[in-house]
Amino acid sequence: MSLEAQHQSLIDFIFKLANKLRGPYRPPQYRKVMLPLTVLRRLDLVTSENKAEVLTQLEKLKARGLKGNALHEALARYATKNRKQPLYNISKYTLAKLLEDSDHIAKNLIAYINGFSPKAKEIFGYFKFEEEIATLENSNRLYLIIKDFCDPQIDLHPNRVSNLQMGYIFEELIRKFNEQANEEAGDHFTPREVIELMTHIIYTNEDVIYKEGIARTIYDPACGTGGMLSVSEKYIHENNDKANLTLYGQEYNNESYAICTSDLLIKDEEVSNIAFGDTLGDGKTSDGHKDKTFHYMLANPPFGVEWEPEKQTVEKEYKDLGFDGRFGPGLPRSNDGSFLFLLHMISKMKPYKKAEDDGSKIAIIFNGSPLFTGDAGSGESNIRRWIIENDWLDAIIALPDQLFYNTGIFTYIWFLTNRKPLERKGKVQLIDGTKHFKKMDKSLGNKRNELSPDHITELTKLYAEYKNNAASFININGQPKEKVCGKIFDNREFGYIKVTVERPLRLNFLALEERITKLYLETAFINLAESKKKKDSKKKDEEVEEGIELQQKIIACLKTLESTKLYKNQDEFILLLDKHLNANGLKLKANLFEAILNALSEKDETADICYDSKGNPEPDSDLRDNENISLPNTIPLPLPLDYDKKASLDKLLPLIKEHCEEYMKAEVLPHVPDAWIDFSKTKIGYEIPINRHFYVYEQPRDLDEIEKDIKRIEKDILEMLNEVVE
């Protein structure tokens, strides 16, 4: 039987068993039983091999008076041969032996689980399986399910089902159970072919991993069931079985954590390297590998998911530690925390000191949001700026849509490193892989497309050959077509200067009834009839009466100014108004005078420009616009970390002004000659518009051709309707 057939056979068999739970369990709850029992069956087959020796040694050690932790430590040394991680069971039971005493199967099963070595026993604590044992027993399902799991068809021994294959099985089971539970799109698993693409690229040109005895660390801060760690390990060991790899991870989902640690335990790898809890920190758990750094990091963090549970911890670290913590450059908006995982991973990079043992590489999957969400000066833009200006962003690959099980959106793999080779320094490679896929014979949830080995090879080749405007043959409507799929950009090409373009305010003034009455809509005028006193009601009434009286005087005064003359010069009208108010004994505060001007004015393109008290043109907020201008070569990168503070920006303004004014002369002033830039509002932003860079205009179909199609469809519809009528 092929591996694929064996894989599907086991999944079908386990899923068929799950249907026996119907009644006491609803389909979305089957996972609570089937996942821990699948792990238990695998552990049962492994520990049965040394069961006799374990029990013999147990009696000897008890006779010597050992108990508790001392007993387990000694037993681990005696009973675990050729292993680094203890794995054994000290109960007298196996799954098969539990069937011999059906009346006490629940109690004996608990005793069996409690008989595992500490780390294995801990796994079932995370599954919370003891709670399910009671439910199964009370519904007369426990004996039947245990009996089914002892069936030879479900032989999950590592000699028959590799750890990598077991990972596929677990993830497929979880996916199917998630479908039944209607899980959210953010809670998805990474298809193994996507992980294979990530590993192929992150280890490209990594000659060091092929050295005999080389030691390397691999880390996933959102490791789930451990798929990325397992595939990475397999890839390196296939090319260098003498490499010493240490896997690290963190996971906050109980089930996923239990599956991941059981996988490592069976592989005899350090289980304690997988931390449980929220990597970002939720007040209860935090970074499980604080102060550690890693050679390679891969992750598919949840995206499009709010980080409200972590907000207090993250914001405190951001404010208290700044760049000495994980989140120095800024925080993304609260509805998508995926960027926080990347910042966390960057903080785990090994410093690069030009030695082959130094530096790190990162591969992380994002949706489209981190590419462009957030205007200049926002948290997202500042994060992009910090990454690109530090020359850490190496490449981004755009993946096809409908590639993931529970979401059909387009996704992107970002590759980062702090040890770029010379030819890649100061540059970013973008690869369009959106057409590199094949349709699946059968959809799996939202997954209708997949990457074939040829697609992975082609995308890896595009990355490795590192050519600008690199072409690749893609399949469009069944026809091979050559398309540019790889481009190389300078870092600064993703940066831009956001400037505020102002145009002058032009107003006319007229003292007529319809404008005078608009004064009642002005806040300063309204406030005259409202008291600021809080307690003394008598004084409040007096203040209100005085305010109403002043309102009436102002209105009466303005009516005596009433005329049909239209003033198009603000200074001229201000002199007239000020003289008239003084003549009527009204000396008003500046805010009231401004309110009167606002009420009596209207926008007028033919009027003179309005100037402030310093002689500067007043801007018209309705005509205000923003322009994004490319970064000039004269601005050295990286910019100061606090570039958006006034002191830092002032240092850059001489370089910015000249470049922006040239842009204004060429692009803006020919259309609006009176425009100017307010440099006090200048900001620098970064975005990565990958889709724009690969957009290819396609000629629309000929109208005659479209008309023929419409007529053909209409004819088909009429024929079908006639068949129905007949």
Give the CATH number of domain 3-180.
1.20.1260
pLDDT tens for each residue of 102-115? 999 999 999 999 99
pLDDT band at 184 (very low <50, low <70, confident <90, very high): very low
pLDDT tens for each residue of 588-617? 999 999 999 999 999 999 999 999 988 999
- What are the CA-CA distances from residue 382 to residues 217, 253, 370, 390, 434 (Å)? 29, 31, 11, 12, 27
Task: Annotate 367-394 with DSSP letters as a single string.
Answer: -SHHHH-S-TTSHHHHHHHHHHHTT-EE
DSSP 617: B
Contacts of 620 (CB under 8 A, 6+ apart): 502, 503, 504, 505, 506, 603
In the chain, the percentage of residues whose pLDDT exceeds 70 is 93
Q: Check pLDDT > 80 for residue 18.
A: yes
Q: Check pLDDT > 80 for residue 183.
A: no
pLDDT band at 534 (very low <50, low <70, confident <90, very high): low
pLDDT at 151: 87
Contacts of 405 (CB under 8 A, 6+ apart): 175, 178, 188, 189, 191, 444, 445, 446, 447
* Separation CA 162–CA 172 (nearest Å): 15
- Model-level pTM? 0.87
Map out the domains of the chain as residue ranges. 3-180, 198-420, 504-603
Looking at this protein, which amino acid is placed at residue 496?
Answer: Y
* Segments in 521-589 forming alpha helices (H): 523-527, 537-561, 570-583
Rounded to an integer, the average pLDDT of 223-229 is 91
In the chain, the percentage of residues whose pLDDT exceeds 90 is 55
Rounded to an integer, the average pLDDT of 629-634 is 88
- What are the CA-CA distances from residue 349 to residues 322, 343, 352 (Å)? 17, 10, 9
Q: Check pLDDT > 80 for residue 530.
A: yes
pLDDT at 441: 85
pLDDT at 607: 96
Task: Annotate 240-285 with DSSP letters as a single string.
Answer: -TT-EEEEEEEE--HHHHHHHHHHHHHTT--GGGEEES-SS--SS-
pLDDT at 726: 61
* Segments in 492-645 forming alpha helices (H): 513-516, 523-527, 537-561, 570-583, 590-600
Of 166, 145, 152, nearest to 16 by C-alpha is 145
pLDDT tens for each residue of 274-306? 999 999 998 888 999 999 999 999 999 988 788
Within this chain, domains 3-180 and 198-420 share the same CATH topology: no
Q: In what order do the strands lie in the sheet with 412-417?
A: 274-276, 244-251, 215-220, 296-299, 361-366, 412-417, 393-398, 427-432, 479-490, 470-476
The CATH superfamily label for domain 198-420 reads: Vaccinia Virus protein VP39 (3.40.50.150)
Q: Choose the most confident range, by mean pLDDT, from 228-232, 440-444, 445-449, 535-539.
A: 228-232
504 cis-preceded (ω within 30 degrees of 0): no
pLDDT band at 81 (very low <50, low <70, confident <90, very high): low
* Separation CA 330–CA 584 (nearest Å): 57
Rounded to an integer, the average pLDDT of 379-385 is 94
pLDDT tens for each residue of 428-448? 999 999 999 998 888 877 888
pLDDT at 186: 40
* Separation CA 544–CA 550 (nearest Å): 10
pLDDT at 725: 67
Strand partners, 619: 504
* Separation CA 440–CA 454 (nearest Å): 15
Neighbours of 704 (CB within 10 A): 8
Rounded to an integer, what is the distance from CA 30 to the centroid of its chain? 30
